[in-house]
Structure 1
Amino acid sequence: MTIGDLLGALFLGLLEGFTEFIPVSSTAHILLAGHFLGIENNGHTFEVLVQLGAVLAIITVYFERFMRVAKQLPTNPGARRFVLSVVVAFLPAAFIGAFAHGFIKSVLFQTPVLICVMLILGGIVLLFIDRLVSAPRFNNAMGLPLPLALKIGFCQCVAMIPGVSRSGSTIVGAMLLGVDKRAAAEFSFFLALPTMLGAFTYDLYKNYANLTADDGIQIAIGFVAAFCAAVVVVRALLDFVSRHGYAPFGWWRIIVGTLGLVGLMVAG
C-alpha cells in the first residue's frame, strides 16, 4: 500500500461525507472519481462500508433527540409511530437490495455512462421539483403517517441505480407526496440510518473474506473522513435548503454528469 492509496482513501471518504446527505449521489461521485483517478478497491466494497461514518454523523448530530425518543417509547404513541415510520420506510430497500445486491455491484456499479446520465436526469428532476408550487401537508419529519412513509421507502429503492441518489429519491418522493422541503430532508436523514447500516452489514457479510489488511486501513481512513465531513453537512443542510431550495444541487448534478460524459468520451 502506497501513500497514494492512503490519500485516495482520504479523498474518497471526504467526498462520501460531503455528498451522502445532499441529493447529488455520493455513490456516483465516488465511482466516477475512482474511475478517472484510477483509484481501485476490492469489489467496490469501500464505497459501501465507508457510509457507516456518515451514519454515525447522523447519530451524533441528532443524539439528544434520539435519546428523547428512546425514553418516550414505552409511554408516547408519537415516539412509537416515528420509529415505526422509519422501519416501514426501510423495508422496501431491505428486500429489494438483498435480492438485487449482486446485479447492483457487478453491473450497475461498473457502468460510468449510466451513472452520468442518471446524474443529469436527476438534476433536471430536482430543478422541476424545486419550482413546483404546492402547499405541503406535512411539516414534521417525525410525524409522518405510516402509509406515506412506506411510499417514501419505495421511492428510495430507485436510488439502487447509482447516480440517482438515495437522499434525492427520498426527498423528491416525499415532496411529491406533500412533505415540505425541510421535513423531507430531515426524514431522509432518519431513513439513512437503517438503510445504510443494513447495506454496510450485508456488504461486509458478503465480502469480508476477500478483504485484506490494506483494505481495512483504507476503509478506516475513509470512514473517519466521511464522518467528519458528514457532520458538517448535516448541521448546515436544513438551513441551506430552507433558504435556497434544491435547485443548486440540480445544477451541480447536471454539471458533474455532463463533465463525466465528456471525460468518458475523451479519456474512456
Structure 2
Amino acid sequence: MGLIEWFKVVVLGIVEGITEWLPISSTGHLILVGDLLKLNVSDAFMEMFNVVIQLGAIMAVVVLYFSQLWPFHTMKTAPARSCFAHPVEDGAAGKFQRFANHYLHMDKIVMWLKIAVSCIPGLLIGLPLDDWLEEHMHRTVPVAVMLIVYGVLFLLVENHNRGRKPRISRISQITWKDALIIGFFQALAIVPGTSRSGATIIGGILIGMSRTLAAEYTFYLAVPTMLGASAIKLLKFGLHFTGVEVSVLIIGMVVAFAVSILAIKFLMSYIKRHDFKVFGWYRIVLGALVIGLFAAGILKG
C-alpha cells in the first residue's frame, strides 16, 4: 500500500473517533467516507473494518471512565460498612456478602447487570438480521435516509423535552425496565445511519434521563456491545489476515482511540450547556446532501 492509502486509513480512524460518540452515526459516516476514499482492500475486509475499528474508540471509554466501570477493590480499600441493607452472617449468603464487601463495588456490579439487560434486545434482533442488513442496508441511500429520519427525531425529542425536569440523573436510579427500554432503542441502531449513541440517547431522554446521564450510559453500554459486534465480525471474516490488513486495523484503531478521547470530552462539555438539536440539523443537511450527490451520480447507491 502506498502513502495515499495509509493517509486514507488515518482519515477513516479520525472519522470513527469523532462520529462514534457524537450522535451522527459512525458506521454511516464510515460507509460514506469509504465510498469516497475507496481504500484498496476487499469488500469483505472493509465491512469488517467498519465495525472492528470501533474497538479503538471503545478503549477511550475504558481509559476515561475506568474508575466508574471497574467493579473490584481490595480489602484495604473496602468500605467500613456493609454494602447490603440486610447483612447476613451465616450460610452461603453470608459468605457471598463477606466476599462482596471485601472485593466488589456492588453498585457497579448492579450497573453492569443492567447494561447486560440493555444488550439483550440488540443481540436477539441484530444477530438474525446481520447478513441481510449487510447486503441491503450498508449502502449510500439507506444511510442517508436514516441520517435524516433520526435528525428529525432529535429535533422532535428536544422540543418535547424542553423545560422538563429529568427523573433520572444517576446510574443507580435506572430501573431494570429502563435498562430494557434503552436496549430496544439501541437495537434500532443495527440499521446503518441510525447511530447507536443517537438511538440510546434519544431513548434515555424519552424515559426521563438527563442528557449527561444518557450520554454516559451510552458510553458504558458501548463497551460490551461493540466488543460483541467486533467478535462476530472477526469470526465471520476469519482470522487469516495479511500483514497489510493487520496494520490497517491497528492504525485505524489507534487513531480512533486518540480522537475519541477528544470527542468524548467535547461532547460531555457541550451537552452541559446545549441540547442535541445541532446534531439533528447536521444529520438532516448531510443526509440531504448525500441524496443529492447520489441523484447526480457522484455517489453510488
Post-superposition CA distance 1:73-132 (Å, at most 9, x none): 9235422221111111012112322222211222211x2111001101111111111222
1:171 equivalenced with 2:174 (yes/no): no
Deviation (angstroms), 1:3: 1.6
Matched, 1:36 2:36: yes
After TM superposition, give the deviation of residue 219 of structure 1 in Å.
Answer: 1.1
Quick one: distance in 2 between partners of 1:198 and 1:41?
24
* Aligned-residue RMSD, C-alpha: 1.7
Structure 2: gaps (5+ residues): 79-98
Which one has a bigger Cα radius of gyration?
Answer: 2
Q: CA deviation at 1:36?
A: 2.2
Aligned pair partner of 2:144 in 90, 96, 116: 116
The answer to whether the aligner puts 1:259 opposite 2:256 as a matched pair is no
User: In 2, distance between residues paired with 1:101 and 1:21?
Assistant: 22
Pairing 1:189–2:191 present:
no
2:77 equivalent to 1:74: no
1:55 pairs with one of 54, 58, 61: 58
Extract structure 1 runs of 4+ deviating beyond 6 A. Answer: none
Q: Counterparts of 1:207-218 in structure 2 under 5 Å?
A: 207-209=237-239, 211-218=241-248
Report the counterpart of residue 129 of structure 1 in structure 2.
Answer: 157
Give CA deviations for 1:53-73 in whole Å, capped at 9, x if unaligned. 011000000112223x33379
Instruction: Determine what percentage of the aligned residue pairs are the same residue.
Output: 32
Q: From the superposition, tell whether residues 124 and 150 of structure 1 become closer, same or farther in structure 2 (CA, over 3 Å).
A: same
The letter of the residue matching 1:114 is P
Letter aligned with residue 60 of structure 1:
V
DSSP-derived class of the 2:272 partner? helix
Tell me the secondary structure at the aligned position of residue 242 of structure 1.
coil
Partner of 1:25: 25
Which has more helix, going by share of residues? 1
1:40, CA displacement in angstroms? Answer: 5.1
Asked if structure 1 preserves the Cα contact closer than 8 Å seen for 2:69 and 2:108, the reply is: no
Question: Corresponding residue for 1:99?
Answer: 128
8 A contact 1:20–1:54 mirrored in 2: yes
Judge which range, 73-82 or 93-102, deviates more.
73-82
Q: Which runs of 5+ in 1 are unaligned?
A: none
Aligned length: 266
Per the normalisation by structure 2, the TM-score is 0.84
